[in-house]
Chains A and B, each alone.
Chain A
Amino acid sequence: MSHSAIQNSPANAAETATMPAPEQSGKGPELPARKPRRSFLPYGLIMPAVILEVLIHIGPMILGVWIAFISLNQLNLTNWLNAPFVGLQNFVNGLNPESTIGQAFFSTVGRTMLYTVTVVGFSWILGMAGAVFLSSNFKGRAILRTFFLVPYALPAYVGTIAWAFMFNQRDGAVNQILVDTLHLFGDERPFWLLGGNSFGAMIMVNIWQLWPFAFLMLMAALQNVPNDVYEAAAIDGATLWQQFRTITLPMVQPANGVLLLVMSLWTFNQFNIPFVLFGAASPKEATLVSPLIYQNSFGSWNFGLGGAMSVLLLIALFIASIFYIRMVLPKGGDND
Chain B
Amino acid sequence: MIETRNFRILRNVVLSILALWVAIPLYVVASTSMKPLKDVSGLFQWLPREITLAPYFDIWTTVPLGKYFQNSLIITVSATACSVTVAVLAAYAVARLQFKGKRVFSLTVLSTQMFPGILFLLPLYLIFTQIRNITGIQLQGSYPGLIITYMTFTLPFAIWMLSGYFASIPKELEEASMIDGTGRMGALFRVVLPVAKPGIIAVAVYSFISAWGEVLFASVLTNEATKTLSLGLKSYASESDVFWNQLMAASVVVSLPVLIGFILVQKHLVAGLSAGAVK
Contact = CB atoms under 8 A, between A and B. Distances in A.
Interface of A: 1-10, 12-14, 16-21, 23-24, 30-31, 39, 41-43, 45-46, 48-50, 52-53, 55-61, 63-64, 67, 80, 126, 129-130, 132-136, 138, 144-159, 161-163, 165-166, 170-173, 176, 180, 208, 216-221, 223-224, 230-231, 233-234, 240, 243-244, 248, 252, 254-255, 258-259, 265, 269, 271-272, 275, 289-290, 293-294, 297-298, 303, 306, 310, 313-314, 317-318, 321, 335
A21 B22 contact: no
Interface string B97-128: 11100110111111111111111111110110
For the complex, would chain B's binding face be called helix, strand, loop or mixed by DSSP majority?
helix
B132 interface: no
B81 interface: no
Contacts of B153: 3-4, 56
Contacts of B185: 41
A5 B157 contact: yes
A157 B263 contact: no
Contact of B119 (A165, A170, A217, A293): A293
A335 B104 CA distance: 12
A3 B210 contact: yes
Interface of B: 1-4, 6-7, 10-11, 14-15, 18-19, 21-26, 28-29, 32, 41-44, 46, 86-87, 89-90, 92-99, 102-103, 105-124, 126-127, 148-149, 151-157, 159-160, 163-164, 167, 171, 175, 178, 184-185, 206, 209-217, 230, 233-234, 244, 247-248, 251, 254-255, 258-259, 262-263, 266, 269-271, 273-274, 277-279
B218 to A, nearest CB: 10
A240 B4 contact: yes
B2 A230 contact: yes
A251 B215 CA distance: 37
Rank and list the top 4 A-B pairs by shortest CB-CB distance, nearest first.
A155-B213, A255-B278, A220-B273, A60-B123
Given A52-B148, A217-B277, A153 B209 contact: yes
Given A45-B90, A67-B123, A317 B213 contact: no
Contact of B160 (A12, A41, A162): A12
A20 B98 contact: yes
Nearest to B13: A133
A147 B19 contact: yes
B173 to A, nearest CB: 13
Nearest to B3: A136
Nearest to A7: B113
A304 to B, nearest CB: 11
Contact of B163 (A13, A63, A317): A13
Nearest to A5: B210
A64 B122 CA distance: 8
B157 A6 contact: yes
Contact of A165 (B1, B244, B255, B274): B244
B113 A59 contact: no
B119 A294 contact: no
Nearest to B260: A153
